[in-house]
Amino acid sequence: MAASPDTASTPLRPTPSWQAYHRVSRTATYGFLAALPLLLLYEVMILIANTGQTYGVRISAEIWIKRVLASIGLVGIHVLTIIVVLVGVAIFFYERRKDIPIRSQYFGWIVAESAVYAVVVAFLVSTVVGVIFAAAPVRVELLIPPQLAEQSLWTRLALSIGAGIYEELVFRVLLVGGLYLALKHALPQVRYAYVLAAVVGALLFSGVHYVGALGDAFTVGSFMFRFLFGLALNVIFLARGFGVAAWTHALYDVMIVTGLMG
């Protein structure tokens, strides 16, 4: 897993607990370790959900990556999971030179922080979209693909968790992180690269939901909702790293499909 851009490469010295947590939790090491339970949980849950089914379901972002891998000869139902884990392990050992402290309580803090972001972001985005489109309110459920309504609660939970892993990997790590790295040397100030990468990434994140045979029917309201939600996730990724972004997305989707937020 990749960390958010510009993670410091110098060894991390002991600092007060909250400062240390805030700094190390955005490293690639914590991004991988924090996201690993989501990855494993998704694989187990989706395997159970697809047992006995004629056609299995998977996260779209996962399928996109697998198609790319298949084009270079890497095929197999678990090949992507294995690659993600191997890359994460490689990053973990590579960052050992930074002397990053591994503290179990930090992972609990990541989940708690992400839960707060999931609620706050959903509220803020819904409020902004509600103000803009007061005559035709847009529900937060619009972020969840309509075909999920046809699935069991177990399957919806599995796909929600998978979205936290694979959509964040594609749209935040690869897309936004890649855009940032490409732009930071081309623009006069680094903050411009942050802003442009976040905005372009959010536009693509929203737009891709309307592409293909299973794409949603386009409406300005749903597009704006997804754009603002994607923008918020981009900001979280750039500021707090992959682990927090993945958990925020997963917990948001879980809250929606279980009716805890709506």
Q: What is the pLDDT of residues 104-159, one digit of tens each?
A: 999 999 999 999 999 999 888 888 887 887 755 555 454 555 556 677 889 999 99
Contacts of 196 (CB under 8 A, 6+ apart): 179, 183, 187
Span 175-187, mean pLDDT?
90
CB 114 within 8 A of CB 247: yes
CB 242 within 8 A of CB 173: yes
What pTM was estimated for this model as a whole?
0.86
Output the pLDDT for position 130.
Answer: 79
Rounded-to-integer distance, Cα 69 and Cα 59, Å: 16
Provide, rounded to the nearest whole percent, the portion of the chain with pLDDT above 90.
43
Output the pLDDT for position 128.
Answer: 86
Output the pLDDT for position 142.
Answer: 46
Which sign, positive or negative, has the C-alpha torsion 74, 60, 87, 154?
negative
Span 216-225, mean pLDDT?
83
In this predicted structure, the answer to whether residue 228 has a pLDDT above a threshold of 80 is yes
Output the pLDDT for position 48.
Answer: 93
DSSP 25: T
Range scoring the smallest mean pLDDT among 61-70, 102-111, 148-157, 202-211: 148-157
In this predicted structure, the answer to whether residue 82 has a pLDDT above a threshold of 60 is yes
Question: Which whole-number Å values give the CA distances from 153 to 113, 142, 173, 194, in the listed order?
Answer: 25, 17, 28, 37
Output the pLDDT for position 195.
Answer: 92
Give the containing element (helix H, strand E) for 31: helix 28-50
Contacts of 250 (CB under 8 A, 6+ apart): 38, 114, 160, 161, 163, 164, 165
Q: Which of 36, 15, 18, 5 is nearest to 177 (CA)?
A: 5
Count CB atoms within 10 A of the CB of residue 37. 13
CB 104 within 8 A of CB 237: no
Output the pLDDT for position 237.
Answer: 94
Span 57-73, mean pLDDT?
87
CB 197 within 8 A of CB 176: yes
Choose from 25-29, 89-93, 244-248 the range with maximum mean pLDDT.
Answer: 244-248
Span 146-173, mean pLDDT?
86
Range scoring the smallest mean pLDDT among 44-53, 70-79, 170-179, 237-246: 70-79
- Cα–chain-centroid distance for residue 145? 16
